[in-house]
Chain A
C-alpha cells in the first residue's frame, strides 16, 4: 500500500518552478531516499507533502487521506527532522522534546515518559538538563531527531539530518534511522550525500530541477545507465599472450594495461571465472582483483550530465 501518493504536483515560487509535475509513490515500511543536488526540490517536496507550502496543482494523498483537507489528522502521524536544527534555545534538552510530545497530544506525564525514551534512543540522556547552545553540533542533530520522533510517528521525513557533523555522530544517526525503520516507521530520507543514500535506502528517487528523473532500487537505477563494468586486476607483470587471450574471451569489450593494473571492460554481469582461468593459463601472477560497479553519482551523471555536488 502506498503511504505517500503524489501525482503531478507543481509548486512555483514566482518565476521559479520548484516542483514540476512531480509524482511520487512510497510504500509503507520503506526507507526511501530522495537524492539530488542542493536546490533540486527535495525540501520543497517534503514541504508540499506536509502542506507547509501549499501546492499550486496536483494531488497529494498521505495515509490514503487527502492533503490539505485532512491536514491535522495526517500531521498527527508524521514526524519531521528538518535540515536546520529547529529547537528552542531557552528550553532544556528535556523540555524541548517534552514540548513537542505535548504538542502531539500527550499529557504531561505521558510526554515525560516518551521524552525519556526518545532521549535514550538518541543517546542524549546525559545531556537532558543542558540547553541547546551548550551542545556540540552532533548532539544538536540528535536532539533535532529526538524532537521529530518523540511521538512515535508512522512516517518520518528526514531532511539532510547529517549535514555538518562528525563521522561518529553520523554513524550513530544512521544507525538510529535504520532502527526506526526496523521498528516499522516509513522514512523519507533526503540527502545530497550519495554514500548515505546508498548505505541506507532500499528505494531511491533521483530529483533534479523539480522533477523525478529516475526511481527504483539501487540496482535498477544502475542498470538503467550502465552497460559495462570494469575489472581491475593488479598484476606483477603482463605475460606474453595474456592480452590477446583476454580479448578473445566472450563478453570482453576492451583490455588495457596501465602498470600495475590490467583493466578489462566487461559487459554487465559477466562472470569472472573465465577471466581467472585465462590468468591461470598464462601463469600471470596477480595480487588483487576488483570490479568497479557504477555509483549513484555515475547514474546521476549519466541522467543529467552533471554530478551531484555541482
Chain B
C-alpha cells in the first residue's frame, strides 16, 4: 500500500518536472526525428535515387549481351544508372576503388552477377534491391531471348519500400540508433539509483520525513526504482512507437514483442545492478559516484558506437574482448535480432546470457562492498 503511494506520487512529480520531461521523453524523440529526417528520403517514394555508376563487364555473346544492354539503357533506368563498360573485372575493380564506379555488373555467358562492397547503409540496401530486380528481369529477358520468345519489357516501379527485402539485412542507421537509445535508456537506471541514494542522506530535505515515517527503507527504494523505470518504460514505448510509425523502420509483424519486453526488463536490471554497484563504492562522495556513472555511460556509449555509429568496429578491432564486456555491443545485436525478420534468435539469448553474467557480477560486488563498508562503519 505504502509502496503504491510512493510510486503514485513519485511518477506524478517526475511527469511534472520539465527537465525530466525534456531529457526522458522529448530529447530522444528530437534526436530520432533529426536522424530520421536525414534518412527519411530513403523511405520516400518521391526520393530520387542518386545516379549509380555501374561498371559493366561483359564476356558474353551477342544473344545475351544485346537484350541486357537494351534493358539497362532504357529510359526507365537511365535516369539513375550509368553504364560504364570495362574490359575486365580487374579494371572494373580499379574503377570502384578510384571512385569512378559504385558497383560491378558482370555478364558472363548467360550469368549476370552483381559485385559490390559489403553494404553498411540503407542506400545500399535499396540499391541492392533495385539491381536484384534488374538482374532478375535481365535474366528473364535473356532466357526469353535464348528461347527465341519475344516478350515486351514492362516498365515497373523499382523504388518502393516493399521492394526492399528486410530479411537478414544489415540494420539501418535509424534502427541502429533506436536500439542504442533503448540501451542508453536502460543505463539511465544507474543514474536513478545513485541519484536516489544521493537523496537519502539523513536529516536532509524531504527524505527526513520519509525517515521519520513508519516506512521500511526497502519499500521506499523498491517503489522509487519501480517509479523511475515506469518512466523509462514510457520512453522506450514512445521511442519505438515513433521509430515504427513515423519511419517504418521496424515492421511490427516481425517484432517478437514478448522477447523485446524481456530484453528491456533485463536491461533495466542491468542499470539497477550497476547503480547499486557504484553507490556501494566506499569512501566516495555521492557527487563523485554520480560523476563515475555519468563518465561510465558516456565512455561505454562512445566505444560501443552509440554516439558515432560504426565506432564499435574500431573498438572491436583493437579490443575484440569488448564484444563480451561492453553491454551496448552485445545487447544491440541481441535486440536487433528480434526486431528484424530472420534475425538470429540464438544471438538474442546469447546476449541475455552475457547480460545476466554482468548483473550477477555487479550484484556480488555490491553485496561484498556493502558488507565491507557497513563493517567498517563508514555509513
Closest to B206 in A: A86
B contact residues around A86 at 8 Å (CB): 205-209
In the complex, what distance in Å separates the CA atom of A139 from the CA atom of B13? 21
On whether the beta carbons of B206 and A88 are closer than 8 Å, the reply is yes
What are the interface flags for A68-88 relative to B under an 8 Å C-beta threshold, 1 for contact and 0 otherwise? 000111011010101010111
On whether the beta carbons of B211 and A52 are closer than 8 Å, the reply is yes
Of B90-98, B129-137, B213-221, the one touching chain A? B213-221
Of A96-104, A113-121, A253-261, A285-293, the one touching chain B? A96-104
In the complex, what distance in Å separates the CA atom of A87 from the CA atom of B210? 11
> Which residues of A in the span 159-205 have a Cβ within 8 Å of any Cβ on B?
none
Nearest CB on A from B25, distance (A): 16
In the complex, whether B9 has a CB less than 8 A from a CB of chain A is: yes
In the complex, what distance in Å separates the CA atom of A50 from the CA atom of B213? 9
| Residue from the list A80, A91, A99 in contact with B208, Cβ < 8 A | A80
> Which residues of B in the span 330-379 have a Cβ within 8 Å of any Cβ on A?
none
Closest to B13 in A: A90
> Which residues of B in the span 92-143 have a Cβ within 8 Å of any Cβ on A?
none
Known pairs A90-B12, A99-B9; A47 contacts B214 (CB<8 A): no
What are the interface flags for B183-225 relative to A under an 8 Å C-beta threshold, 1 for contact and 0 otherwise? 0000000000000000000110111111111111000000000
On whether the beta carbons of A76 and B202 are closer than 8 Å, the reply is no
What are the interface flags for B137-173 relative to A under an 8 Å C-beta threshold, 1 for contact and 0 otherwise? 0000000000000000000000000000000000000
In the complex, whether B256 has a CB less than 8 A from a CB of chain A is: no
On whether the beta carbons of B206 and A87 are closer than 8 Å, the reply is yes
Interface size class of A (residues with CB under 8 A): 20 to 34
| Residue from the list A52, A90, A95, A103 in contact with B215, Cβ < 8 A | A103
B contact residues around A147 at 8 Å (CB): 209
A contact residues around B9 at 8 Å (CB): 88, 91, 95, 99
| Residue from the list A53, A75, A91, A95 in contact with B214, Cβ < 8 A | A75
Nearest CB on B from A79, distance (A): 8
In the complex, what distance in Å separates the CA atom of A103 from the CA atom of B13? 16
In the complex, what distance in Å separates the CA atom of A115 from the CA atom of B204? 24
A contact residues around B16 at 8 Å (CB): 90
In the complex, whether B5 has a CB less than 8 A from a CB of chain A is: yes
Known pairs A80-B209, A82-B208, A90-B16; A43 contacts B214 (CB<8 A): no
Closest to A99 in B: B9
What are the interface flags for A18-37 relative to B under an 8 Å C-beta threshold, 1 for contact and 0 otherwise? 00000000000000000000
| Residue from the list B202, B207, B208, B213 in contact with A75, Cβ < 8 A | B213
Q: What DSSP secondary structure best describes chain B's contact surface?
A: helix
On whether the beta carbons of A103 and B213 are closer than 8 Å, the reply is yes
Which of B16, B17, B208, B213: most chain A Cβ within 10 A?
Answer: B213
A contact residues around B214 at 8 Å (CB): 71-73, 75-76, 103-105
In the complex, whether B2 has a CB less than 8 A from a CB of chain A is: yes
On whether the beta carbons of B12 and A82 are closer than 8 Å, the reply is no
Nearest CB on B from A86, distance (A): 5
In the complex, what distance in Å separates the CA atom of A95 from the CA atom of B321? 51
On whether the beta carbons of A52 and B202 are closer than 8 Å, the reply is yes
B contact residues around A90 at 8 Å (CB): 12-14, 16-17
Nearest CB on B from A184, distance (A): 20
On whether the beta carbons of B13 and A52 are closer than 8 Å, the reply is no
Nearest CB on B from A292, distance (A): 39
In the complex, what distance in Å separates the CA atom of A72 from the CA atom of B206? 18
In the complex, what distance in Å separates the CA atom of A71 from the CA atom of B13? 28
B contact residues around A71 at 8 Å (CB): 214
On whether the beta carbons of A99 and B202 are closer than 8 Å, the reply is no
Nearest CB on A from B212, distance (A): 4
Known pairs A86-B206, A88-B13, A91-B13; A72 contacts B212 (CB<8 A): no
> Which residues of A in the span 131-175 have a Cβ within 8 Å of any Cβ on B?
147-148
Closest to A43 in B: B203
Known pairs A50-B211, A78-B212, A90-B17; A95 contacts B12 (CB<8 A): yes
Known pairs A52-B211, A72-B214, A80-B208; A47 contacts B12 (CB<8 A): no
In the complex, what distance in Å separates the CA atom of A52 from the CA atom of B208? 8
In the complex, what distance in Å separates the CA atom of A73 from the CA atom of B213? 10
| Residue from the list A73, A84, A99 in contact with B205, Cβ < 8 A | A84
In the complex, what distance in Å separates the CA atom of A121 from the CA atom of B1? 27
A-B contact pairs, 25 of them (CB 8 A): A47-B203, A50-B211, A52-B202, A52-B203, A52-B211, A52-B212, A53-B202, A53-B203, A72-B215, A75-B212, A75-B213, A82-B203, A82-B209, A84-B208, A86-B206, A88-B9, A88-B13, A91-B13, A95-B9, A100-B209, A103-B2, A103-B213, A103-B215, A104-B213, A105-B2
Known A53-B202, A72-B216, A95-B12; further 19 A-B contacts with Cβ < 8 A: A50-B211, A52-B203, A53-B203, A72-B215, A75-B214, A78-B212, A80-B209, A80-B212, A84-B208, A86-B206, A87-B206, A88-B9, A90-B14, A90-B16, A90-B17, A99-B5, A102-B5, A103-B210, A105-B1
B residues with a Cβ closer than 8 A to A are: 1-2, 5, 9, 12-14, 16-17, 202-203, 205-216
Instruction: List the 9 closest pairs (A to B, CB-CB), nearest first.
Output: A90-B13, A75-B214, A76-B214, A90-B16, A80-B212, A72-B214, A102-B5, A86-B206, A52-B211
